[in-house]
Amino acid sequence: MKILAVSDRVLGHLYSTNVRENYPDVELLIGCGDLPFYYLEFLISALNVPLLYVRGNHDTSPQYTIDGRTLTSVQGGTDLHGQVIRLNGLIAAGLEGSMRYRPGAPLMYSESEMRWQVLRMIPQFLWRRLRYGRAVDLLVTHSPPFGVHDRPDRAHTGFRIFRDVIRYFKPHFLLHGHIHVYRHDVERVTRVGETTVINVYPYRVLDLSSAPGAESYGSGKMK
């Protein structure tokens, strides 16, 4: 399974009529947050593949398009926040938002608030593990785990609870955005235990064919 993951910045070469020609083998879109809904809808339409996404801390709604439409979500996409789903054999889960740095702002969480979000997902993880022998293949987040690709300022500090999810549920991949990287010498891919953590900003193409359990991808529908 080949994935196109995007986050945080609209790119002209993706927001283009040539995108399907340039990425003909993509089978799944992943949105890691802070992107206009119209951009994600365009990619769904142009590539004709499913989208799984989480919202970033700037993805408040409603959003407005140039032709006057009002968008409160990505039409045709699946908001993964708080969910664990199985799509074409791939078990995916998602967690939105960033560390809270402004009181009362939506799509921001304290560490304890994010821990509660994860606690609510534990029965879903355990059910998937019981049924399929693994809890989750792909964890999609906006923010990174604490100490992995994050920054010292509060707005860009990662969540410690994500390290616990990695430790106990062992996703093959954790894809995140939020951390803007402009230098080539900054680490974007880090192995944590059995999980490969990838900063996808602003986009990344991944081939999951060599991942553990990949022989089951491509079978079945969303469940």
Q: Where in the sequence is the domain holding 22, given as residue range(s)?
A: 2-216
Q: How many angstroms separate the CA atoms of 149 and 200, rounded?
A: 11
- 132-173 tens-digit pLDDT: 999 999 999 999 999 999 999 999 999 999 999 999 999 999
Q: Looking at residue 116, which CATH number applies to its domain?
A: 3.60.21.10
Within the chain, what is the greatest distance between any pair of CA atoms? Answer: 47
Within-domain flag for 223: no
Q: How many angstroms separate the CA atoms of 173 and 74, rounded?
A: 23
Among residues 39, 17, 48, the alpha carbon closest in space to that of 203 is found at 39
The partner residues of 198 in beta bridges, in order of sequence, read 175, 189
pLDDT in tens, the chain (223 residues): 899 999 999 999 999 999 999 999 999 999 999 999 999 999 999 999 999 999 999 999 888 887 778 888 999 999 999 999 999 899 999 999 999 999 989 999 999 999 999 999 999 999 999 999 999 999 999 999 999 999 999 999 999 999 999 999 999 999 999 999 988 889 999 999 999 999 999 999 999 876 666 666 654 455 5
35's CB contacts (< 8 A; 6+ apart) are 6, 7, 8, 9, 10, 56, 59
| Token representation of residue 101 | 């740095």
pTM, to two decimals: 0.94
Within-domain flag for 221: no
Residues 56 and 96: beta-carbon distance below 8 Å: yes
Within-domain flag for 222: no
How many structural domains comprise the chain?
1
Q: How many angstroms separate the CA atoms of 129 and 134, rounded?
A: 4
